[in-house]
Amino acid sequence: MNCPKILFTLIFIMIGGLVLSFLFSSLSALASFSLYNLSDTISSSQAATGSDHLIKFKVSTEVPVSGKLVITPEAGAFNVPAGFDYTDVDLATAVDINATFTERTLGASPDAVTDGVSVVSGATSSITITLNSSAGISSGHAVRIKLGENASYGTGGDQQIINPSSLGSYSVYLKSYDATDGLLDRGTAMIAIVNPVEASATQEIDETPPYRYNGSPSGAVPVGTTALTMSLNTDEYAYCRYSASSGIPYASSTNIISDELSLFHSVVLSGLEPGEHNYYIRCQDAWSNTNDDDYLISFTIPVPGTGEEEEGGPTGGGGAPYPRPPGLPAVQIIGWAYPNSNVSILRDGVLEKELQADTTGDFDYDIGEIEGGVYTFSVWARDSQGRRSITDSATFLIKPETRTTLQTFLPPTIGVSSDTLGTGETLEISGESLPMASVEVMIYPSRDVEAEVPEEDIITMEVEADGAGKWNLSFDTTGLEKDTYAAKARVSASRAGISNFGRVVYFGIGAPPAVSYCERSDLNKDGSVNLVDFSILLYHWGTSNTTADINLDGSVNLTDFSIMMYCWTG
């Protein structure tokens, strides 16, 4: 279903005022506020490899002086080396996520001007930053944390956090505290660990510099302009610099447009005077391929009173016509689901193809030609009992004259025989996966944040699927206290590897399950509240669908949307 743009606009306008007021007043008893715009970008997604982390987020609640920021990588997955200390950490703040960040001074312990960093190393690790006694972090401000060799402020970092040894998605938890260790904000960033990309014989190494296009502004801009934003795009992630003279090498240019890898590059030019302005841009990609020619962005500020201002206005970017990158790329999607299951493939949230997996659960789909750019492909499937998998999504850049292969291993479906049991009753848990594969089922007390569940309270069992992909196990609930419990599963197979955990199901001992609003906001039950859940909510907008009706008041409406935004993890 395609939702009208007006619906998106209306929702976001309303959440700016009344909805947020309702949200923070009525839900304050459920959980602390959430960090937002949270992301964690790693330098390498290869398993068991050292990697730098670049974490960005905005705080909902002021972090006062002597407050804390605590970073907790998923236990048993990431490994923080013993030598990791404050020199491997940079902390910077800004008024907004896209504004200029100001570095803060870090040391081994906090004082009046220095923030202290303490590290718990090993497989169960944490990094705590205690703010100094003079400067906190204001509500709504952005925070940037660098962990690893990318920490360059003061003494440069020389240690990296080691990635998990198995492929899959992993969590990094962020929390902020006041000076008395009272929880303020929290959030979760998800990181995917994948196999290294294997290039074909004709594309072993990227030796092509970035392709620059869509430069702006161009032509005559409004008379009296003294400041404007200059921007351009590149066809791959790159850094860009500019000069006022032609022929200046990238390394010699001191005017930075983007100091972080990006596809869109912009900088504010100020102090402009009437006349013609020419700027020459060169970029460098992550493989140090650098442009050896200039990309010109040229515009004119008319002289007042000369009549030149009547001749035109800004063209909206682009400059002189430029050729499209040659050779449309192709995409192949290869995956594993359940025998004869119905598989749906979406491109940027729109259904691209419905197909059927074969009798072994394998499927593939080929897109012969596609415009270069950034795309999000999503895959989900239904098994023979109509149970739906989670939606597995991947966003990546497709470059001209390439063939990109996306592999997806859908986790097993899962269901329970009853959602309410008495102590000692047997619960049947079943689902479907690849035939003859090993299914791991995890059962644990339901909590708002899985990381808060003690390891000793997690029960793990394994079962083998039959030749048709069906699996079933009997779980004796003897010894479980009256509470709400969650169950989820993942699968491993020699030809596909290990899947992520799939949909979470709930059951109650002694009473019906009491699932929190934040757990219900995870509509596809993949462990995150993000754009996938938002799309499902909009699809059922105005209906009484019990999945999307988060607060179960009989209607999918702004109240449900508000709760989802409150619980957003990204």
The tokens for 113 are: 């001007």
Q: For residue 477, what pLDDT band results from cuts at 50, 70 and 90?
A: very high
Q: How far from 205 is each of 65, 197, 200, 209, CA to CA, in Å?
A: 48, 11, 9, 12
pLDDT of residue 434: 94
Q: Is there a single domain that holds both residue 486 and residue 425?
A: yes
Gap between the Cα atoms of 488 and 444, Å rounded: 9
Q: For residue 17, what pLDDT band results from cuts at 50, 70 and 90?
A: very low
Q: List the domain range (segments joined by +) for residue 485.
A: 415-566
User: How many other CB atoms sit within 10 Å of the CB of residue 346?
Assistant: 18
The tokens for 250 are: 């990238």
- Calculate the average pLDDT of the chain: 82
In a domain, 30, yes or no: no
pLDDT of residue 288: 83
pLDDT of residue 452: 67
Domain boundary among 144, 161, 193: 193
Which one is predicted more confidently, 129 or 317? 129
Give the CATH number, domain containing residue 281: 2.60.40.10
Q: Is the pLDDT of residue 430 over 70?
A: yes
Q: Is there a single domain that holds both residue 531 and residue 437?
A: yes
Q: Is there a single domain that holds both residue 172 and residue 232?
A: no
Looking at the structure of the chain, the number of domains it has is 4
Which one is predicted more confidently, 525 or 126? 126
- pLDDT tens digits, one per residue of 499-545: 888 888 889 999 888 777 787 888 877 677 887 788 788 877 888 77
Domain boundary among 310, 344, 364: 310
Q: Is the pLDDT of residue 108 over 60?
A: yes
Q: Is there a single domain that holds both residue 398 and residue 429?
A: no
Q: Is there a single domain that holds both residue 98 and residue 182?
A: yes
Q: Is there a single domain that holds both residue 278 and residue 390?
A: no
3-state secondary structure of 336: strand
Q: What is the dihedral of CA 195, 196, 198, 199, to 10 degrees?
A: 150
Q: Is the pLDDT of residue 203 over 60?
A: no
Gap between the Cα atoms of 456 and 109, Å rounded: 33
Q: Is there a single domain that holds both residue 109 and residue 227?
A: no
pLDDT of residue 295: 95
Q: Is there a single domain that holds both residue 188 and residue 261?
A: no
In a domain, 120, yes or no: yes
User: How many other CB atoms sit within 10 Å of the CB of residue 568?
Assistant: 21
Q: Is the pLDDT of residue 449 over 60?
A: no
Length of the chain: 570
The model carries a pTM of: 0.44
Which one is predicted more confidently, 176 or 41? 176
In a domain, 369, yes or no: yes
Q: Span 255-280, mean pLDDT? A: 86
In a domain, 146, yes or no: yes
Q: Span 186-212, mean pLDDT? A: 66
Domain boundary among 371, 394, 409: 409
For helices 531-539 and 558-566, the axis angle rounded to 10 degrees is 170
Which one is predicted more confidently, 214 or 21? 214
Report for 19-28, 218-227, 451-460: range of highest mean pLDDT: 218-227
In a domain, 322, yes or no: no
User: How many other CB atoms sit within 10 Å of the CB of residue 145?
Assistant: 20
The tokens for 413 are: 């479906």
Q: Which residues contact 10 (CB under 8 A, 6 or more apart)?
A: none
Which one is predicted more confidently, 193 or 289? 289
Gap between the Cα atoms of 127 and 72, Å rounded: 7
Give the CATH number, domain containing residue 111: 2.60.40.3490
User: How many other CB atoms sit within 10 Å of the CB of residue 407?
Assistant: 15
The tokens for 376 are: 């999000």
Q: Is there a single domain that holds both residue 356 and residue 458?
A: no
pLDDT of residue 195: 64
Q: Which residues contact 70 (CB under 8 A, 6 or more apart)?
A: 126, 127, 128, 129, 174, 175, 176, 177
Residue whose entry in the numeric block shows the structure tokens 């192709």: 330
Share in percent of the chain as helix, strand, coil (round to 5): 10, 40, 50
Q: Is there a single domain that holds both residue 248 and residue 306?
A: yes
Q: Which residues contact 99 (CB under 8 A, 6 or more apart)?
A: 142
In a domain, 105, yes or no: yes
In a domain, 7, yes or no: no
Residue whose entry in the numeric block shows the structure tokens 């909902």: 60
Q: Is the pLDDT of residue 33 over 60?
A: no
Q: Is the pLDDT of residue 248 over 60?
A: yes
Q: Is the dihedral of CA 66, 67, 71, 75 positive or negative?
A: positive
3-state secondary structure of 22: helix
Q: Span 66-91, mean pLDDT? A: 93
Q: Is there a single domain that holds both residue 396 and residue 298?
A: no
pLDDT of residue 247: 94
Report for 334-343, 365-374, 551-560: range of highest mean pLDDT: 334-343
pLDDT of residue 18: 34
Q: For residue 196, what pLDDT band results from cuts at 50, 70 and 90?
A: low
pLDDT of residue 34: 66
In a domain, 22, yes or no: no
Q: Is the pLDDT of residue 118 over 90?
A: yes
Q: Is there a single domain that holds both residue 431 and residue 376?
A: no
